[in-house]
Amino acid sequence: MEIFNSNIKYLMERDEISSVTELAKKVNLQQSTLHRLLTGEVKDPKYTTLKSLADYFHISTLDLTEHSLEAGQSQVSIENAAGFQAVTLHKVPVLGNTQLGHGGYWSDMQYPVGNGDGFLRWPSGDHEVYALKCVGDSMMPRIKEGEFVIVEPNQSFHPGDEVLVVTNNGEVMVKTYLFKRDGFYHLLPVNEDHAPIRIAVQDVTKMQYVAGIAKSSLWHP
């Protein structure tokens, strides 16, 4: 519990959470429950309580309870179908704004590598990971205005994965990748009410793996 308490203190300071009351509201836990946990009154906390805290900070329960995050550990363990995978917790730069969907364009700010308009903390195995802030409502309910698309340019993608697509004329969109055939990419809109589309390979300048959608609350200046 000493490591756990130290990690919670570190994470609260990192994310500028000023009190146990504020953290309890963000994690949707009773303040009294969280207070007893942090004061050591609770010696054997419920897994669901630990997972709620770990999920909020985007780390695994293993890292929260057993690894000293303040000591400078840059890797965290993310649970998936194969068990735990070690990934790096990045300060992901926000490289611009984008209005996703038909007629939407990416306002590329041309920041130097590793820099941008603020950042988000996000676990990733791609050292070139970046984020785009979404404006407009063309991708609702999948992506809401003010949320961020996390893009891993060096990650391969497969049928069924979401991808960021940028065309020769600068149009940018998030689609579900289906397959490539006869010189065309076949894609499925995130909004399932719309029909599949196809785009000529030569008309696409960028197609990159979408690792996730981040809430606006994760943004740091």
Mean pLDDT of residues grouped by 10 in the chain (221 residues)?
A: 85 86 89 86 84 83 77 53 60 76 52 61 83 74 83 93 89 89 91 82 94 85 76
Choose the final residue of a domain: 47, 73, 99: 73
Residue 83 inside a domain? The answer is no
pTM: 0.60
| Per-residue confidence (pLDDT) for residue 85, from 0 to 100 | 57
Whole-number Cα distances in Å, 67 to 7, 19, 73, 133: 8, 23, 8, 32
| Per-residue confidence (pLDDT) for residue 114, from 0 to 100 | 47
The verdict on 93 and 17 lying in the same domain is no
The verdict on 99 and 202 lying in the same domain is yes
Residue 120 CA to residue 124 CA, distance in Å, equals 11
User: Quick check: 116 and 94 in contact, CB under 8 A?
Assistant: yes
The verdict on 109 and 21 lying in the same domain is no
DSSP result, 19-35? -HHHHHHHHT--HHHHH
The verdict on 198 and 150 lying in the same domain is yes
User: Quick check: 96 and 134 in contact, CB under 8 A?
Assistant: no
User: Quick check: 188 and 196 in contact, CB under 8 A?
Assistant: yes
| Per-residue confidence (pLDDT) for residue 143, from 0 to 100 | 79
CATH code, domain with 53: 1.10.260.40
The verdict on 167 and 100 lying in the same domain is yes
Domain that holds residue 132: 89-220
Non-local (6+) Cβ contacts of 189 within 8 A are 175, 176, 195, 196, 197
Q: How many domains is the chain built from?
A: 2
Residue 78 inside a domain? The answer is no
CATH code, domain with 93: 2.10.109.10
| Per-residue confidence (pLDDT) for residue 154, from 0 to 100 | 93
The verdict on 53 and 155 lying in the same domain is no
Residue 186 inside a domain? The answer is yes
| Per-residue confidence (pLDDT) for residue 160, from 0 to 100 | 92
Handedness of CA 100, 166, 199, 178 (dihedral sign): negative
